[in-house]
Amino acid sequence: MKYENIVVRVGRMPLPGALTADAYEYCAEPLEALKPGEIRIETIYASIDAGARGMLDPSANYPMLLRPGNRVYTSGVVGRVIESLDPAFVPGEFVRALSVTRQKYLTVAPKRTLGVRKVDPSDGPLHIHIGSLGMTGFTAWIGTFTIGLPKPGETMLVSAAAGAVGSVAGQIAKAIGARVVGIAGGAEKCSAVVSRFGFDACIDYKSDGLGEAMDAACPVGIDIYFENVGGAIQKLAMERMNMFGRIIMCGQVSQYDGNGGGSEGGPNLMNVINRRLNLRGFISSDHMDAFPAFERSALSLVRSGKLISYATVTKGFDQLHDAVNSLTQGRNFGQQVHQMADDPMTSDC
């Protein structure tokens, strides 16, 4: 079968702030014939992760920095098999792949690539497999259960609580009996974090008096802080940590867009010593051996209705810049997703 591929590459390195369309280039490239064991997937959805912006900002100190011409990564895609030389996969089936590059037609060898599996559309929207059941859900799970170790009755504070990682972290801690408090931007988002994701409370960081709001929402202090944003929020949270508290250093999204946000006035690290805190960073892809266990646990929570997912979908193959801006500007609720082709499971394709 003959297809022309389109590979997404970095265009112009962006200026600080929102991305413009020229941040990415959409390059027509030939496809090689499949080798035995490989399948070809037409990408329908690709995850947009906060790191997509950090990878384009040399000042963000993000674990990976991309340059003009580089292929652009995503933590996961879901799409439909269009060709297969692996007898276990049949054209027409829906498939998920993790940690791949953004392109119209993706070629993978399922037996040699962790995280490639068929998806069951009855589990929910196709993109759930790159959200709560993909790397973002896994990130929340690894941070919560290897560093946070919440116990019933403990208070866990989660920043970027309305986003992909934060919403899952709060829900899985709540499922084991912790009291979960979120932080998000705006009264409407905060209300949805409580009503849709089931958090016990949510603090609007865009309102005045953030420290007082944390005191009110966490009256007996914070046992676990799931850190996604950095800056002033991190500083105020650290001042309210209880003895032997745990700080899960997951991300610093306020520092990813080249504006130098979030780096001012770091927290007083003396608190780490005085209060015997465990402050630990992690990169979820270092823990892939735990992915199958996560997937079993998360799938069971999804099927029992204890792990709720929402997504904000930006449509249009050449709209990647807008999808990334949606996330950094906080327009997303739940997972930010980029739709690159029609989804036959939805009515509007």
Ligand X SMILES: NC(=O)c1ccc[n+]([C@@H]2O[C@H](COP(=O)([O-])OP(=O)(O)OC[C@H]3O[C@@H](n4cnc5c(N)ncnc54)[C@H](OP(=O)(O)O)[C@@H]3O)[C@@H](O)[C@H]2O)c1
**Contacts with ligand X, residue ranges (CB under 6 A):** 49-51, 136, 139, 160, 162-166, 184-185, 189, 205, 228-229, 250-254, 261, 282-284, 327-328, 330, 332, 336
Instruction: Output the smallest distance, CB 130 to ligand X, in A.
Output: 11
Give whichever of 136 and 144 is closer to ligand X, judged by the CB atom: 136
Give whichever of 6 and 180 is closer to ligand X, judged by the CB atom: 180
> 333, 31, 25: which is closest to 184 by C-alpha?
333
Instruction: Output the smallest distance, CB 284 to ligand X, in A.
Output: 4
Cα-based distances in Å from 187 to 29, 162, 192, 204, 253: 46, 12, 9, 6, 20
Instruction: Output the smallest distance, CB 322 to ligand X, in A.
Output: 14
Instruction: Output the smallest distance, CB 6 to ligand X, in A.
Output: 24
Judging by DSSP bridges, how do beta strands 311-315 and 278-281 pair with one another?
A: unpaired
Give whichever of 177 and 265 is closer to ligand X, judged by the CB atom: 265
Give whichever of 6 and 97 is closer to ligand X, judged by the CB atom: 97
Instruction: Output the smallest distance, CB 116 to ligand X, in A.
Output: 19
Instruction: Output the smallest distance, CB 174 to ligand X, in A.
Output: 17
- The 3-class SS string of the chain reads CCCEEEEEEECCCCCCCCCCHHHEEEEEEECCCCCCCCEEEEEEEEEECCHHHHCCCHHHCCCCCCCCCCECEEEEEEEEEEEECCCCCCCCCEEEEEEEECECEEEECHHHCCCCEECCHHHCCHHHHHCCCCHHHHHHHHHHHHHHCCCCCCEEEECCCCEHHHHHHHHHHHHCCCEEEEEECCHHHHHHHHHCCCCCEEEECCCCCHHHHHHHHCCCCEEEEEECCCHHHHHHHHHCEEEEEEEEECCCHHHCCCCCCCCCCCCCCHHHHHCCCEEEECCHHHHHHHHHHHHHHHHHHHHCCCCCCCEEEEECCCCHHHHHHHHHCCCCCEEEEEECCCCCCCCCC
Give whichever of 18 and 82 is closer to ligand X, judged by the CB atom: 18
Instruction: Output the smallest distance, CB 31 to ligand X, in A.
Output: 30
d(CA 318, CA 39) in angstroms, rounded, equals 24
Give whichever of 38 and 204 is closer to ligand X, judged by the CB atom: 204
Instruction: Output the smallest distance, CB 35 to ligand X, in A.
Output: 31
Give whichever of 107 and 284 is closer to ligand X, judged by the CB atom: 284
Give whichever of 282 and 317 is closer to ligand X, judged by the CB atom: 282
Instruction: Output the smallest distance, CB 26 to ligand X, in A.
Output: 23
d(CA 22, CA 25) in angstroms, rounded, equals 7
Give whichever of 19 and 39 is closer to ligand X, judged by the CB atom: 19
